[in-house]
Chain A
Amino acid sequence: MSQWVAHVHRLSGVALALFLPLHFWALGNALQLDSFLAWTEQPLVKLGEWAIVVALAAHLGGGLRVLALEFLPLLDWQKSLAAVAAALTLAVGLALALSL
């Protein structure tokens, strides 16, 4: 499980790094926002939005796990931390899916 969380942490980080310039560019053109928001109504774009928000939650969970492992003396907690990271990702994914 820890291995999985570490892989997801890295992959989600790469996805976020690729997404951020596009995200900022789109928001920087806020005056054309309505045409952009209309474009985001497409099901595939919505799915992409959901995936990137879940990637953000996964990266947060994975990152908190790394910080806890490095800065807190929690040698026996590795599995629990990985589970917490996975649970956080799942919770955000569900909350967003219900809100969309």
Chain B
Amino acid sequence: MTQTVLWLAQRVTAAILAVCVVVHLATIIYAVQGGLTAAEILGRTRGNTAWLVFYAVFVAAAAIHAPIGLRAVLGEWLKWRGIWREVFLVFFAYTLLWFGLQAVIGVFG
């Protein structure tokens, strides 16, 4: 049951992230041309609700996707499989969500 839910969550978030990453990569390649300054970035981003929602969804999907991916790596590479692995991964998920949303608010809020 848990394995199935995690597998499904990983695929659903992967599909969402695929779209987000394509947009993010295009934005990066566009934005870095001619260098970056804080004023230039924040002037474009601050108060932009559409991008705020886009990046909030991106962060939420990544906060689910990364811990599930790490779960397999920790199990296969480090043989770490007990309850503390799950505790660590839940903590990691919330850390990503918290700092990610702080970043989204800082840049787009």
User: A14-B70, A63-B18 given as contacts; is B42 within 8 A of A25 (CB)?
Assistant: no
Q: 8 Å CB contacts to B: which residues of A31-50?
A: 31, 33-34, 37, 40
CA distance in complex: A96, B31 (Å): 10
Chain B hits for A99, CB < 8 A: 29-30, 32-33
Taking chain A's interface residues, is the majority helix, strand, or loop, or is none over half, making it mixed? helix
Count CB-based A-B contacts (< 8 Å).
Answer: 90
A-contact bits for B1-40, CB 8 A (1 contact / 0 none): 0000000000100110110011011001110110011110
Chain B hits for A40, CB < 8 A: 36
Pair B18/A60 contact, Cβ less than 8 Å: yes
Chain A CB within 8 A of B106 CB: yes
Pair A92/B25 contact, Cβ less than 8 Å: yes
Pair B18/A24 contact, Cβ less than 8 Å: no
Please list the residues of chain B having a beta carbon within 8 angstroms of any beta carbon in chain A.
11, 14-15, 17-18, 21-22, 24-25, 28-30, 32-33, 36-39, 41-42, 59, 62, 66-67, 69-70, 73, 92, 95-96, 99-100, 102-103, 105-107
